[in-house]
Amino acid sequence: MRVNKKLLSSLFSLLSVQSIATALSITPLAADRAASRYVIENPLPPADQTHEVVRVAGTNVILISQMSNSVLLKATVDDHGVITDIGAFRIGESTSALHGLALSKTDPGKVWVTLQKDNKLVLLNPIVNSIKAAPEVIKEIVVPNPGLGPHYVGEYGDELWSTLQDSSHVLRINYNDPSNYTIYTGIPRPIFIAQHPDNGKFYTGEDNSASIMKIDPVANTTSQLPIPETAGMTPVGLIAGPPGRGIWFTLLGNATQGTGTIGNLHKDDTITYHTLSSSPLSKKAALLHLAFDPEAETNYTLWLLASSIVNSNALDMIIKVTFDAGWSKIVSEDIVVTPTQLNKAHRILITPTNVFATELASSKLVSYYTL
Ligand SMILES: *[C@@H]1O[C@H](CO)[C@@H](O)[C@H](O)[C@H]1NC(C)=O
Ligand SMILES: *[C@@H]1O[C@H](CO)[C@@H](O)[C@H](O)[C@H]1NC(C)=O
Ligand SMILES: *[C@@H]1O[C@H](CO)[C@@H](O)[C@H](O)[C@H]1NC(C)=O
Ligand SMILES: *[C@@H]1O[C@H](CO)[C@@H](O)[C@H](O)[C@H]1NC(C)=O
């Protein structure tokens, strides 16, 4: 029999490979991985513009303002932020322009709303125990002349502070005595207001002027803090940080370019800018709004909302940003893109259990969670 040497030798080499393979060590490893991420888009009754969102404290009731038809939505949500029941209520006329929403602190469970075109601030009892029950009006305050077009409203002790977007003013008004008020003149256009946690002054971002107005209600003076072109433009979201950490705001950018930049305004009015950098998606993100994690004082987490609202090239995204313990440097960014794009993502709301965002142009409420 003729032996095929070549075949034999390859057979031997195969066997030897096999015998080496049996010596190969296989070690079980910890299979640690990040949590799975879930993004739910809850459809809402259709409207051209869905704006603000708040949660009535201590309940599973979410309130949403639809400005284009002046409708207040009242929804119950489950643990994952899925809407389980919803009611819709016209506030005023279809042209009243329901816009700002803010929880009352002195009257828990009640909510202040702005009617931008009716020029009114209104306190509502949303009636949380029945989704189908119409909210009740508790108080109506007419914005005094020459103020026009309340956008944001917030309650600070006995006072309401409101940005009068259409006349570029800021209003301070005592809601128990509406004859006690001050109208401060800003530049186009005051959008949000926050009271500085460390110096007590009030600040408002003026989106079309790349400037922040500081208001000292005791001295009754105002001043402007310009935003340098190198940092960006269009301050929109502006909120108070944890105690000792100043005010924080986002810079949206313009119709063709986002900024990926947020500002931290300290108690001496100096500003530190932080620019996102972890990904091409975040570098020039068009940042519209922001909200601190309820545990921000211990986990240094800030949530940002990127939006296509003025820039049709921009992505609509939720970005979780974690800082170092001194809030001086971003240490991580976690980006999630909403399934519907060009939705003009509008507000972000963080509750102890959920992350919500409104989609202005697509009548949806996003719920984002990880498991
Ligand atoms: C106006 O209201 C503020 C509180 O909002 C209060 O401190 C002040 O005393 C009031 N002024 C008058 C004249 O009542
Ligand atoms: C405070 O300043 C505003 C204008 O900024 C003025 O209308 C108002 O009269 C002043 N109030 C007092 C008490 O000086
Ligand atoms: C937007 O800003 C960028 C950067 O400053 C600039 O290059 C661009 O021309 C601006 N676009 C518009 C439409 O103003
Ligand atoms: C923040 O910290 C708390 C506990 O300290 C944790 O439960 C929560 O998930 C954290 N949030 C984020 C966004 O990491």
Q: Which ligand is nearest to the CA of 146?
A: 2
Segment holding 24, helix H or strand E: none
183-228 residue pLDDT tens: 999 999 999 999 999 999 999 999 999 999 999 999 999 999 999 9
Q: Is the CB of 22 under 6 A from ligand 4?
A: no
- Alpha helices, DSSP H only, in 180-222? none
CA 296 / ligand 3 centre spacing (Å): 34
Would you give the distance in Å from CA 124 to the centre of its chain? 23
CA 110 / ligand 1 centre spacing (Å): 23
Three-class DSSP category at 65: strand
How far apart are alpha carbons 149 and 315 in whole angstroms?
29
Q: Distance between terminal CA atoms of the chain? A: 67
How does pLDDT run along the chain (371 residues), one tens digit per residue? 454 555 555 554 544 555 556 799 999 999 999 999 999 999 999 999 999 999 999 999 999 999 999 999 999 999 999 999 999 999 999 999 999 999 999 999 999 999 999 999 999 999 999 999 999 999 999 999 999 999 999 999 999 999 999 999 999 999 999 999 999 999 999 999 999 999 999 999 999 999 999 999 999 999 999 999 999 999 999 999 999 999 999 999 999 999 999 999 999 999 999 999 999 999 999 999 999 999 999 999 999 999 999 999 999 999 999 999 999 999 999 999 999 999 999 999 999 989 999 999 999 999 999 99
CA 124 / ligand 2 centre spacing (Å): 30
Total-model pTM: 0.92
Q: Which ligand is nearest to the CA of 171?
A: 2
Which tokens in the block code for residue 149?
């077009």
- Spell 347-359 as b/e; 16+ CB within 10 A means b: bbbbbeebbbbbb
Our mutation pick for probing the ligand 2 site, out of 168, 182, 185, 223, counting the most ligand atoms within 8 A of Cβ, is: 182
Percent of the chain with pLDDT over 70: 94
Three-class DSSP category at 334: strand
Q: What is the CA radius of gyration of the chain?
A: 26
